[in-house]
Each structure stands twice: as C-alpha cells, then as structure tokens.
C-alpha cells in the first residue's frame, strides 16, 4: 500500500449509530439554547413518567369548598374553578402532551418518509399521484385542516391526534421527497442498482438513512407546531375533553376566571410555551448538529 490518510483515525469499537448519538448529545449540550431544550424535554419526560409521584394531589379530585385558591404551599399553582390542584393537573397533563407527541410522531414520521421516498425515488406518475395528494393536504394551514377534521370526527383527544397526524405528514413527505430527489441521481444509488438491488431495498437501505437526519430535524421542529395545534384545538373546545388536564383546554376553561385568578391560565400557558420552545430550540440545535450539508461534505 502506497497511500496514507492524512489524519490518524481512532479505532472504532462502538457501533457507529451509538457514537453518532453520543456526539450529537455532546454537541447539543455545548450550546446553552439546545441545552435548555434538552433539559425541558427531559423534565417533561420525568414529569410524565412519575406523574403520580410528583403530583401533590389527585388531578381529578374536586374540592368545591376550595375553588380558585391562589398559589400557596398547599396548592403550588393554586386551584381551579372546581378546586382541583393546578400543579397536579399540569403534571398529569404532561402525559397527554407526550402521548400526543408520541402518537403523532410514530404516525407522521414513517408515513411521511414512505410517501416521500417512494414518490421521490420512482418519480413520474407515482410521484405525480402522491404529490397531488400531499398538495391537497398542504393547501391548508394545519390548524384549519385539523379543525375541519375534528369537526368532522367529533371533538375528542383521539380525534384531535388523528387530525393532527393527518395534517402533519405532508410536509414531511415533501421534505423526504425533495431529499430523495437530490440523492436519487447519486452515484452510490446507481451503484446499488448495478448490484441488482430492488427498488424497495434501495429505498430502505440507501435512501431512508440519508433522509433520516433532516426528517428527524423537521419532526422535532414540527413537534412545537403539533403542541401548539393540540393546545389550540383544546382551547377551542375541540381537543381533549374535560376533565382531562390538557393544557390548552385548561387555558380555555381558566380563561373565564382569568381577570381575578391569573394562575389558571398563566401556568398552563407557560407550560405550553416552554415545551414548544424546547422543541424548537432542540430542533434548531439538531439542525446544526446533523447539518446535512456538513454530513455530506467530503
């Protein structure tokens, strides 16, 4: 062998995926804003996991003698119009938020990825048909489309999730398609075809891994929108139904008492704001960490 690489390369023992994940986390913790995002989401996760332990009261337990109690040591964030402890409701509400995020992600991610990569890889008629469908969905702002869907399905948390998922996949599909289009002509795809790989294999093995980072970033950023949409639906009375402690719905009901009892809307609002901000910051940080341009650099 006559050639040498310029830099000495460390021996690899861990699988590439793990190393990458670790690197990304390390990268994220280096920027204060992404760190904030990570911490808030970690907190959300802990709250949701240990909700019954953290909550000081039963979130559904009414105490009509103790309604609209301002924040105090008994009721950290005060009580609502039915005497329920707002702190505990917020804590339990994090489960709803996480459920929404989780369900939407596992529907939207794969769906968008499959639609997008298939359309992008095959092009032609397949592309036209699939993209027409996404176009139709994309020709609405997501909240209005979800509104229409929820109205059609009847208001409930599940329907809100379905509606949000239905409106959230087209942008992902679009993104995956655009990415696929840039890779489709790449020589390594041609090489795979020359080795006899079937289209499904090419999409799965070669294209999906390439689209994944940007789809992940987009999904993370989308989560902020999903949370806001869900809260908006809850606010309009079309999302989670009482007595579920969904944050948007809490604001909607708390709104009737807002002037005198500020704590009813302030805390759920802050909760929504910080989680959605956390997702945005994290997505932004991820974009820097996983920058597709950097990754494809020679």
The minimum distance between CB 268 and another protein, in angstroms, equals: 8
- The answer to whether the beta carbons of residues 79 and 66 sit under 8 Å apart is yes
Residue 25 found at the interface with another protein (CB under 8 A): no
- The answer to whether the beta carbons of residues 98 and 152 sit under 8 Å apart is no
Burial 159-178 (b: 16+ CB within 10 A, else e): bbbbbbbbbbbbbbbbbbbe
Smaller CB distance to another protein: residue 19 or 46? 19
Alpha-carbon gap, residue 85 to 173, rounded angstroms: 42
Residue 168 found at the interface with another protein (CB under 8 A): no
Residue 190 found at the interface with another protein (CB under 8 A): yes
The minimum distance between CB 78 and another protein, in angstroms, equals: 14
Which of these ranges, 47-55, 85-93, 102-110, 191-199, lies near another protein under the rule CB under 8 A?
Answer: 191-199
Site for another protein in 198-257 (CB under 8 A): 201, 205-206, 209-210, 224, 228, 231-232, 235-238, 241-243, 248, 251, 253, 255-257
Q: State which of residues 29, 56, 72, 296 lies at the interface with another protein (CB under 8 A).
A: 296
The minimum distance between CB 292 and another protein, in angstroms, equals: 10
What's the token pair of residue 64?
């009509």
Q: State which of residues 18, 64, 73, 124 lies at the interface with another protein (CB under 8 A).
A: 64
Q: Give the distance from CA 137 to its chain's centroid.
A: 19
Site for another protein in 95-114 (CB under 8 A): none
Looking at the DSSP bridge assignments, the partners of residue 79 are: 85
Alpha-carbon gap, residue 47 to 54, rounded angstroms: 7
- Please state at what angle helix 157-184 crosses helix 124-138, rounded to 10 degrees: 140
> Residue 76: phi, psi to the nearest 5?
-55, -50
Residue 67 found at the interface with another protein (CB under 8 A): yes
Site map (CB under 8 A) of another protein, residues 141-160, x = contact: xxxxx-xxx-xxxxx-----
What is the sign, positive or negative, of the torsion defined by CA atoms of 261, 265, 268, 273?
Answer: negative
Site for another protein in 3-22 (CB under 8 A): 3-6, 9, 12, 16
Residue 40 found at the interface with another protein (CB under 8 A): no
Q: Biggest alpha carbon distance in the chain?
A: 86
- The answer to whether the beta carbons of residues 114 and 107 sit under 8 Å apart is no
Site for another protein in 271-290 (CB under 8 A): 272-273, 276-277, 279-281, 284
Q: State which of residues 23, 29, 72, 128 lies at the interface with another protein (CB under 8 A).
A: 128
Residue 178 found at the interface with another protein (CB under 8 A): yes
* Angle 95-101-107 from CA coordinates, rounded to 5°: 130
The minimum distance between CB 143 and another protein, in angstroms, equals: 4
């Amino acid at each position: 062998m006559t050639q040498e690489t310029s830099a000495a390369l460390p021996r690899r023992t861990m699988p590439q995926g793990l190393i990458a994940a670790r690197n990304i986390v390390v990268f994220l913790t280096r920027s204060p804003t992404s760190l904030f995002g990570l911490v808030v989401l970690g907190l959300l996760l802990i709250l949701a996991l240990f909700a019954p332990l953290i909550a000081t009261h039963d979130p559904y337990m009414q105490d009509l003698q103790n309604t609209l109690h301002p924040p105090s040591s008994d009721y950290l964030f005060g009580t609502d119009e039915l005497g329920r402890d707002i702190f505990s409701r917020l804590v339990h509400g994090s489960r709803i938020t996480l459920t929404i995020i989780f369900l939407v992600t596992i529907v939207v991610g794969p769906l968008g990825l499959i639609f997008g990569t298939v359309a992008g890889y095959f092009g032609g008629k397949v592309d036209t048909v699939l993209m027409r469908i996404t176009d139709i969905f994309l020709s609405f702002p997501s909240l209005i489309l979800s509104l229409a869907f929820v109205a059609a399905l009847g208001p409930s948390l599940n329907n809100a999730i379905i509606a949000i998922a239905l409106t959230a996949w087209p942008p992902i599909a679009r993104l995956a398609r655009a990415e696929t289009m840039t890779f489709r002509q790449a020589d390594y795809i041609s090489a795979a075809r020359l080795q006899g790989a079937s289209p499904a294999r090419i999409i799965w093995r070669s294209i999906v891994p390439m689209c994944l980072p940007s789809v992940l970033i987009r999904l993370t950023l989308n989560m902020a929108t999903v949370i806001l949409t869900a809260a908006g639906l809850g606010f309009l009375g079309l999302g989670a139904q009482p007595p579920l402690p969904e944050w948007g719905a809490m604001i909607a009901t708390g709104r009737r008492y807002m002037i005198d009892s500020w704590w009813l809307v302030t805390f759920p609002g802050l909760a929504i704001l910080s989680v959605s901000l956390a997702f945005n910051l994290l997505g932004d940080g991820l974009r820097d960490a996983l920058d597709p341009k950097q990754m494809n650099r020679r």
